[in-house]
Every structure is written in C-alpha cells, then in structure tokens.
Structure 1
Amino acid sequence: MEIIGEAVKTIPKQVCEQYRQIKLNKIAGMKDKLIHHYFSVDYDLVWDVVENHIPKLKETIKLILNEE
C-alpha cells in the first residue's frame, strides 16, 4: 500500500483529472497515514482496502492501460 501510495503521487495532474473515478488523493493520503501515524492506524480499514479496493484499483488500471 505504501508503494502504491507513493506511485500515485507521480501521476500527472491531467491523468488524475481524466480518471476521477480513482480517488488518487485518498490513496496517497492513506499511504501518508500508514507511514506517519503508526499508533492510530485502523487495521480493519487497512484490511478492507487490501481485500476490496486494491483488486478494484487493479482492474481499473488495466482498463485505463488498454485505452491508451
């Protein structure tokens, strides 16, 4: 999740605006929280992201790459 969050920060603004369905700012924000707020991490939320949101993100990225 940290790697994904860091990678998101390198996506050009025009791409972010084109694909607003991906909440890139939330992905980057979660990465920052994981890195800097060790004792206040909601592990249930982290697990939900791993189980539900990352697979959806992966599929969306595949669709975007196929469009390009």
Structure 2
Amino acid sequence: MRRDARAYLWDIQQASDAILRFIAGHDATTFAEDELVYSAVERKFEIIGEALGQLSKADPELAGRIPDMRDIIAFRNVLIHGYAGIEHRRVWDIAQSALPGLRMAVEELLREIAG
C-alpha cells in the first residue's frame, strides 16, 4: 500500500524536530564528542533523506517544491554509504544552516495540504 505524501512530510518534520532537540545545548565541539547525539542526528538525517526520496516517487511535483531536495537525498546516501568518511563538523553545519529552512518548507507544505 502506497503512503500518502503527507506521511512523508510528517516524517521529515518529526525527524527535523528531533534533530533540533538533540543538538540543543551543544556546540560543534560537544556535538562531535557525544557519540550518542551525533549518531542520533545522523540517523534522523537518514530518515529525512529517505522520506524525501520516497516522496519524490509518490508525488514528484510536491517533492520538487522542497529546496535542495536532491542535495538532501545525496546527503542521506553519503551518511549511509560513506559512513566511514563522515565529518561531524559537516553534519553539525548542515543541522545549523540547512535544517531550519527545510523544516519551515515542510511545515508550509503540510499547512497547504491541510487546507
């Protein structure tokens, strides 16, 4: 059974919120030193990328409205397949700079879909 596009957006929203909770109170150094936190953040980024990849198959037009969609999916692939070369600073920077915009775009799409 195919999932509704809203479910993928909701997954992205929930994973984004979790990342923001996980990194609260950290800076780049303490983030890189806390294996539990950086592992959890990386996992949530994997979920975001996978949900966006699935959304792009279920509703390409809707997914295309998410800024940097292809970059987000590519980042998920790096996390999964290039795990040995992941730099915690890069993950931290993405969480700080790109995640809030993604979160806002997804929230707007969910509001729009809800009517």
The answer (yes or no) to whether the contact 2:52–2:63 under 8 Å persists in 1 is no
Q: Aligned-pair distance for 1:43?
A: 1.9
Structure 1 residue runs of 4+, over 6 Å off? none
TM-score, normalised with respect to structure 1:
0.81
Alignment of 1:1-68 (within 5 A): 1-11=45-55, 12-17=59-64, 19=65, 22-68=67-113
Unaligned 5+ segments in structure 2 are 1-44
TM-score, normalised with respect to structure 2:
0.52
Q: Aligned-pair distance for 1:52?
A: 2.1
Unaligned 5+ segments in structure 1 are none
| Number of aligned positions between the proteins | 66
| The structure with more radius of gyration | 2
Q: What is the CA–CA distance in structure 1 between the aligned matches of 2:61 and 2:99, rounded to whole Å?
A: 22
Q: Aligned-pair distance for 1:40?
A: 1.6
Q: What is the CA–CA distance in structure 1 between the aligned matches of 2:79 and 2:98, rounded to whole Å?
A: 16
Among all aligned residue pairs of Structure 1 and Structure 2, give the percentage whose two residues are the same amino acid: 27
Q: What is the CA–CA distance in structure 2 between the aligned matches of 1:39 and 1:10, rounded to whole Å?
A: 25
Q: Aligned-pair distance for 1:23?
A: 1.0
